[in-house]
Chains A and B, each alone.
Chain A
């Protein structure tokens, strides 16, 4: 936390424009907090820091405590650095029944990381997540924005190995 606080953050011109657009899009500007956090997260290597919160507070003219509340409430905003490919494996009930947890273990083992860690080359991070609405095609994983379904440990690793 302390380390990240020292860092600085500033939205790019495009990012700022996008945030401004979102600010004008809804009935109240608070509704733009989630979209703005998405924009900022994308520009800050996939996670949010205190510096990001302060910058957004300034840009959006919303108390930082309110932005921080939103940031810490939703799981899609990362509080720690993630890999270039953020692998999220579902371990909720339907996936657990079909081997979601074994899949998580296998991926962690193959990539040589624990849950929440980033591989040494920065390419991958693995986390277990709750139901992603892909229960009929369990087990599954989400890598960044994309779903990969009906996986076996081998097929999952093949997919991951194919990522640059």
Chain B
């Protein structure tokens, strides 16, 4: 069953506009928030147990409290560079409820003491950018942005920045580099963005869904928010369900929801005559689960971590028994090779190497030792680089090869797919 907290009014077209948003409870809680002590908001968010919805799942309140306790100017940046393959929830949120995000951002900015925020949207999202820019203007006109917001004495400016096509800009320091007009290459940590971020100033980068959720924590209080979800993964989460299911789409459910139910109830189950083979539960970087593992999984940070994978961005990619896992790994390796920013050697060279090995297997030129070589290369890319893209490329390799080794071995021995036969030549030219 869906639990519609953030998405309650998403079916209403008017929710996109200021009037419709206000009619459905919009900006009421902003007034409430601006009367609170900023630290009280931080405490409330901390108490709610809200965890970052972009991928890493780090405690939002904790992240905020890393900011230096002084009057140094600081920035709030909304990460709307939704690029993790399989994820399309932020797009929905921006298209259907831009004011929900803006309201959450103003509250968050007030809490952390930021006078300027950016919404960094991936470049391909022309329409969401259009909607957001319009909404920001509406908010300025209505006095929710600008000087002395609602008479509180709090000033805040907001701007929308469009990226230009780079997965790596979803990494918070890559995003900051991009916002600074550079290549979107992640920066060395330390210093962390909360200490030195955008323009070397303290900066908080939060995902769209995270910032939007702040509004509901202020509205209902941390205790009420914690009633949703599990103890360690409180709240609801939007899951982007895609792949071989009958009803793909975004579904908001309690964290801790059964993956089986998500696929079979919300997703309408597998297509006729098809059986579940595997599920990638948290975007393409998350290690894959077998059908058996998927039947036991619940969609929360701790269960998935226990199963050796992650909740990530909440992109659930369903793979049925007509698919070849070697082929799918080929698709993913092409992606990571394409997206590696190129600064750290293990990732720059490793992603290319993994892609080449996978594709030589797909071309029927693989050697048996290539399967182990994939594992060795992936193992040596893990944890060796500035950002997590290297790990993101390595983890699918390790899980695909370990869990579906028979398909890889068959492919190498026979020169064709165990599932799909000789299909590769038509697929890639």
Touch between chains A and B, by CB atoms below 8 Å: yes
Residue positions of A touching B, CB distance < 8 A: 25-35, 37-38, 66, 69-70, 73-77, 91-94, 96-98, 101-102, 105, 114-115, 130-138, 142, 145-147
CA distance A130 to B127 in the complex (A): 18
Mind listing 30 A-B residue pairs with CB under 8 Å? Answer: A30-B181, A30-B182, A73-B166, A73-B184, A73-B341, A74-B184, A75-B164, A92-B331, A93-B85, A93-B332, A94-B85, A96-B327, A96-B331, A97-B242, A97-B243, A105-B426, A105-B429, A130-B85, A130-B339, A131-B87, A131-B167, A133-B87, A133-B88, A133-B90, A135-B243, A136-B88, A136-B249, A136-B250, A146-B126, A147-B127
- The interface on chain B, measured as residues whose beta carbon lies within 8 A of the other chain's beta carbons, has a size of 58
Contact between A138 and B180, CB atoms less than 8 A apart: no
Tell me the B32-75 residues at the A interface (CB within 8 Å).
Answer: none
**Chain B residues within 8 Å of A33, by CB:** 181
Contact between A131 and B243, CB atoms less than 8 A apart: no
Please give me the residue from chain A that is nearest to B247 by CB atom: A136
Q: Report if B302 contacts A (CB, 8 A).
A: no
CA distance A135 to B123 in the complex (A): 17
CA distance A92 to B328 in the complex (A): 9
CA distance A17 to B44 in the complex (A): 46
Q: Of A76, A135, A136, which one neighbours B164 at CB under 8 angstroms? A: A76
**Chain B residues within 8 Å of A38, by CB:** 162, 164
CA distance A31 to B88 in the complex (A): 26
Q: Of B126, B180, B317, which one neighbours A94 at CB under 8 angstroms? A: B317
Q: Report if B365 contacts A (CB, 8 A).
A: no
CA distance A69 to B166 in the complex (A): 13
Contact between B165 and A74, CB atoms less than 8 A apart: yes
Contact between A136 and B317, CB atoms less than 8 A apart: no
Contact between B328 and A93, CB atoms less than 8 A apart: yes
**Chain B residues within 8 Å of A27, by CB:** 199
Please give me the residue from chain B that is nearest to A134 by CB atom: B88
Contact between B319 and A97, CB atoms less than 8 A apart: yes
Contact between A136 and B240, CB atoms less than 8 A apart: yes
Q: Of B123, B161, B331, B428, which one neighbours A31 at CB under 8 angstroms? A: B161
Contact between B85 and A69, CB atoms less than 8 A apart: no
CA distance A147 to B88 in the complex (A): 13
Which among B124, B127, B318, B335 has the highest number of chain A CB atoms within 10 Å? Answer: B124
**Chain A residues within 8 Å of B167, by CB:** 130-131
CA distance A146 to B244 in the complex (A): 25
**Chain B residues within 8 Å of A28, by CB:** 180-181, 199
Q: Report if B282 contacts A (CB, 8 A).
A: no
**Chain B residues within 8 Å of A91, by CB:** 331
**Chain B residues within 8 Å of A98, by CB:** 243-244
Tell me the B145-168 residues at the A interface (CB within 8 Å).
Answer: 159, 161-167
Return A146 CB to nearest CB of chain B, in Å: 7
Contact between B429 and A137, CB atoms less than 8 A apart: no
CA distance A126 to B332 in the complex (A): 21
Return A98 CB to nearest CB of chain B, in Å: 7
Q: Of A31, A75, A136, which one neighbours B242 at CB under 8 angstroms? A: A136
Contact flag A133-B163 (CB < 8 Å), given A33-B181, A76-B123: no
Contact between B242 and A34, CB atoms less than 8 A apart: no
The 7 closest A-B pairs by CB, nearest first: A30-B181, A74-B164, A75-B165, A135-B242, A76-B165, A131-B85, A94-B242
**Chain B residues within 8 Å of A70, by CB:** 164, 181-183
Q: Report if B315 contacts A (CB, 8 A).
A: yes
**Chain A residues within 8 Å of B124, by CB:** 76, 132-133, 142
Q: Report if B280 contacts A (CB, 8 A).
A: yes
**Chain A residues within 8 Å of B99, by CB:** none
Contact between A136 and B166, CB atoms less than 8 A apart: no
Contact flag A131-B319 (CB < 8 Å), given A73-B184, A74-B164, A74-B184: no
Tell me the B235-252 residues at the A interface (CB within 8 Å).
Answer: 240-244, 248-250
CA distance A73 to B181 in the complex (A): 11
Please give me the residue from chain B that is nearest to A32 by CB atom: B181
Please give me the residue from chain A that is nearest to B185 by CB atom: A73
**Chain B residues within 8 Å of A92, by CB:** 85, 284, 331, 335
Return A114 CB to nearest CB of chain B, in Å: 7
Q: Of A69, A93, A142, which one neighbours B331 at CB under 8 angstroms? A: A93
**Chain B residues within 8 Å of A34, by CB:** 123, 161-164, 178, 181
CA distance A138 to B90 in the complex (A): 17
Contact flag A31-B163 (CB < 8 Å), given A133-B125, A136-B249: no
**Chain B residues within 8 Å of A101, by CB:** 427-428
Residues 326-340 of chain B: 1 if any A CB is under 8 Å from the residue's CB, otherwise 0?
011001100100110
Return B351 CB to nearest CB of chain A, in Å: 13
CA distance A94 to B83 in the complex (A): 13
Residues 192-224 of chain B: 1 if any A CB is under 8 Å from the residue's CB, otherwise 0?
000000010000000000000000000000000
CA distance A29 to B182 in the complex (A): 11
Contact between B240 and A69, CB atoms less than 8 A apart: no
Contact between B165 and A93, CB atoms less than 8 A apart: no
**Chain B residues within 8 Å of A135, by CB:** 85-88, 240, 242-243, 248, 315, 317
Contact between A73 and B244, CB atoms less than 8 A apart: no
Contact flag A31-B180 (CB < 8 Å), given A76-B165, A137-B248: yes
Contact between B331 and A136, CB atoms less than 8 A apart: no
